[in-house]
Structure 1
Amino acid sequence: MSEGSLVGAYVIKMMGYIQALENLGFPLNDELAIDVVLQSSPDSFNQFVLNFNMNEINKTLPLLLGMLRTGESNMKKGGSKSILMLREAKGKGKKVAK
């Protein structure tokens, strides 16, 4: 994907390629398909990819498409502002002795 192009058209094209691979007998699971799309995104989506991976979001390609479109519109509105989302950890953490 080139910088400045619309993310929606790119993801739909990639979904077509992934479907073509499935039709040829080489299906990609959802996780691999999403990784292919995210890793081929331009540098302007680095913050989105970081948040997506940190939050361990398990989504399908159509849901990722919606999230990327929302992220793209937010980047256009906000300029070059960066936002980092964090969430509370689910796992067991180390207990700190008092």
Structure 2
Amino acid sequence: MVHNDMLHELKTLFSQQAEQELLQMVRDFHTSKQEEGQSISSYVLQMRSYIDNLERLGHPVSLNLATSLILVSLRKEYDSFVQNYNIHGMGKTVNELHAMLKLHEKTLPKKDVPALHAI
């Protein structure tokens, strides 16, 4: 009898822990934004890890939701890409979206180039 009680206690503890992990994961995923200076690859990989972890916790993210969550959290300079994607690119996998974003990133003006000051 003691054995069953202990088992039940462990199961309860484990499910509470999994629920807390899920809540934290959803919070992090939802509040994720591409940081200034963060490469698109680094950002997409970060978002993919949230998607993979949610799946591991038994909550798979649909393809459209995954790509939408990535798109809405990109920096401003990706706005034109997002508009184009919404018109033409729907239904891509996260890998396809990643490849398209990497190509777009190459067209963006470099920010870290020092400005030439007029003398």
Q: TM-score range by the shorter chain?
A: 0.7 to 0.9
Give the gaps of 5 or more residues in structure 1. Answer: 78-98
2:106 aligned with 1:73: yes
**Larger RCO: Structure 1 or Structure 2 (Cα < 8 Å, ≥ 6 residues apart)?**
1
What amino acid sits opposite 2:39 in the alignment?
L
Give 1:10 shift. Answer: 0.5
2:55 aligned with 1:18: no
Percent of paired sites with the same residue: 35
Q: Is the 8 A contact 1:34 1:61 kept in 2?
A: yes
Q: Matched residues in 2 for 1:3 and 1:39: separation?
A: 15
Q: CA offsets per residue over residues 23-70 of structure 1, 9 Å max, x none?
A: 001111100000000000011100000000011432100110000000
Residue aligning to 1:5? 38
TM, length-normalised to structure 1: 0.74
Q: Matched residues in 2 for 1:18 and 1:68: separation?
A: 18
TM, length-normalised to structure 2: 0.61
Q: How does 1:33-48 map to 2 (within 5 A)?
A: 33-48=66-81
Q: Is the 8 A contact 1:3 1:44 kept in 2?
A: no
Give 1:7 shift. Answer: 0.6
Give the gaps of 5 or more residues in structure 2. Answer: 1-33, 111-119
Q: How many equivalent residue pairs? A: 77
Residue aligning to 1:93? none
Give structure 1 regions of 4+ aligned residues with deviation exceeding 6 angstroms. Answer: none
